[in-house]
């Protein structure tokens, strides 16, 4: 067995053990309508391995986890079939149930009162559906646009409902687009952030997301200097990809519980990067705000540090001022906010590390999946950060 694959599986087993407490908390939760519960796979790696929805009988106690060497002997070549049943049972950790029906999520997404348009895009790299939220205060004058990329197993309505971004669009008058991953591209709906063909401009999913953005710019009066992108988990990783590959399009980016651009280049390295942060591509000119739970057992908090470090490495101004604030939200949950400002006073990077928070959108609405109703309010802080930034004029 190659050492890299052994390390990958070792990482998987460590995640199993680290999340044993979550199993105890969630074991009695109701199954989904399919009669099973959904494995926590926000980056899509388990789906790529063929692990999707084990039956309730498969969710065995974690007190007797299988020996890693025995499991590795059973691992099929190419990682293109299901892992052994005993590992599948062990991986049933951090179970998350559906927090609401599709109808309830759609209603929550539309609750702010604006119009939710169900649209589609087709271009040379592929086609995707997307929802576009148009606030009631929009009367045709150029306004900002925020592109929101959902996490694994989510869809546009789920993400809109859970993040509450449409309510902020009502408050500040901007449009929100929610591209939706195709189940043909990934059967569980994950953005393929770790594939080389989906990590560069002009091809794959980055080209599709940029195409959706441009289609909205063509169809609606949008201020091209105020276009932003944000995402959660796999969507957060893809937001980092978009900031790196299309800096001329996006004025700022938000990454919640995600990974840096090119932190991984394939499935094994993606597993590793979820724990180590990998080695994201240094550089980039797009300001970034990062949110991450300090207790995230799925995508380790070190990923937030790696994203910020990669962005700072691209700063042309060596005189970076760092300001750190330690505080607490209304519920008393502590956080550390670190702001990096260049010599001109422009914030180029900001991070929020929140104690006692896991792998979920902070300040979110529980009607959506992967949400944490306790703060700080990630959507509100990202909106504040976005509206403080405008893209530099294109010259030449």
Query: What pLDDT does residue 375 have?
Result: 86
CB 235 within 8 A of CB 157: no
Q: Of residues 42 and 24, which shows the higher confidence score?
A: 42
Condensed to tens digits (0 to 9), the pLDDT of residues 64-75 reads: 223 333 333 333
Residue 325, pLDDT score: 95
As a whole number, mean pLDDT of residues 307-321 equals 86
177: nearest Cα among 242, 227, 236 = 227
Looking at residue 41, its pLDDT comes to 57
Is the bond preceding 376 in cis, omega lying within 30 degrees of 0? yes
pLDDT band at 331 (very low <50, low <70, confident <90, very high): confident
Residues 333 and 115: their CA atoms lie apart, in Å, by 35
Going from the C-alpha of 284 to that of each of 181, 247, 298, 314, the distances in angstroms are 25, 8, 26, 5
pTM above 0.85, yes or no: no
Residue 330 pLDDT grade (very low, low, confident, very high; cuts 50, 70, 90) = confident
- Of the listed 125, 188, 233, 351, which one is catalytic? 233
- Cα separation, 235 vs 216, in Å, equals 19
Gap between the Cα atoms of 128 and 26, Å rounded = 34
Tell me the percentage of the chain whose pLDDT exceeds 90.
67
d(CA 190, CA 218): 27
The pLDDT tens digits of the residues spanning 246-294 come to 999 999 999 999 999 999 999 899 999 999 999 999 988 999 999 999 9
pLDDT in tens, 157-168: 999 999 999 999
C-alpha to C-alpha distances, 151 to 307, 352, 360, 361, nearest whole angstrom: 18, 19, 10, 10
Collapse the DSSP code of 38 into the 3-class scheme (helix H, G, I; strand E, B; otherwise coil) and give the result: strand
User: What does pLDDT average to over the chain?
Assistant: 80
Residue 188 bears catalytic tag: no
Of 43-57, 157-171, 210-224, minimum mean pLDDT range:
43-57
Res 188: pLDDT: 87
Q: How confident is the model at residue 210 (pLDDT cuts 50, 70, 90)?
A: very high
What is the rounded CA–CA span in Å between residue 370 and residue 359? 7
Give the Cβ contact number of residue 292 at 10 Å. Answer: 27
pLDDT for 81-120, tens place per residue?
333 332 222 222 233 334 347 899 999 999 999 999 999 9
CA atoms 247, 193, 313, 320: torsion sign: positive
C-alpha to C-alpha distance for 296 and 128, rounded to whole angstroms? 30
């Amino acid at each position: 067995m190659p050492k890299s694959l052994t390390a990958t599986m070792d990482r998987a087993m460590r995640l199993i053990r680290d999340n044993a407490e979550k199993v105890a908390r969630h074991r009695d939760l109701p199954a989904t309508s399919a009669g099973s519960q959904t494995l926590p796979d926000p980056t899509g790696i388990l789906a790529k391995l063929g692990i999707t929805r084990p039956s309730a009988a498969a969710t065995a106690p974690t007190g007797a986890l299988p020996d890693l060497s025995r499991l590795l002997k059973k691992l099929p070549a190419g990682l293109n079939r299901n892992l052994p049943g005993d590992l599948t049972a062990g991986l049933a950790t951090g179970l998350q149930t559906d927090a609401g029906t599709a109808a309830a999520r759609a209603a929550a997404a539309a609750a702010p009162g604006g119009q939710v348009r169900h649209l589609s895009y087709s271009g040379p790299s592929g086609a995707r559906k997307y929802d576009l939220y148009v606030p009631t205060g929009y009367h045709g004058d150029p306004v900002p646009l925020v592109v929101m990329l959902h996490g694994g197993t989510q869809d546009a309505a789920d993400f809109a409902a859970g993040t509450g971004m449409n309510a902020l669009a009502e408050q500040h008058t901007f449009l929100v687009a929610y591209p939706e991953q195709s189940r043909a591209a990934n059967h569980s709906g994950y953005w393929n952030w770790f594939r080389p063909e989906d990590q560069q401009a002009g091809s794959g999913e980055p080209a599709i997301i940029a195409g959706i953005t441009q289609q909205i710019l063509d169809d609606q009066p949008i201020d091209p200097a105020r276009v932003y992108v944000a995402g959660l988990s796999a969507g957060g990783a893809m937001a980092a990809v978009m900031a790196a590959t299309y800096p001329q399009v996006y004025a700022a980016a938000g990454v919640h519980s995600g990974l840096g651009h090119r932190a991984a280049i394939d499935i094994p390295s993606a597993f590793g990067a979820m724990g180590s942060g990998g080695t994201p591509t240094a550089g980039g000119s797009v300001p970034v705000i990062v949110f991450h739970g300090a207790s995230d057992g799925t995508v380790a908090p070190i990923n937030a540090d790696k994203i910020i470090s990669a962005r700072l490495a691209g700063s042309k101004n060596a005189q970076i001022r760092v300001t750190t604030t330690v505080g607490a939200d209304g519920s008393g949950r502590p956080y550390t906010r670190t702001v990096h400002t260049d010599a001109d006073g422009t914030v180029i990077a900001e991070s929020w590390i929140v104690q006692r928070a896991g792998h979920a959108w902070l300040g979110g609405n529980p009607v959506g999946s992967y949400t944490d109703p306790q703060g700080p309010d990630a959507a509100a802080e990202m909106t504040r950060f976005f509206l403080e930034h405008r893209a530099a004029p294109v010259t030449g």
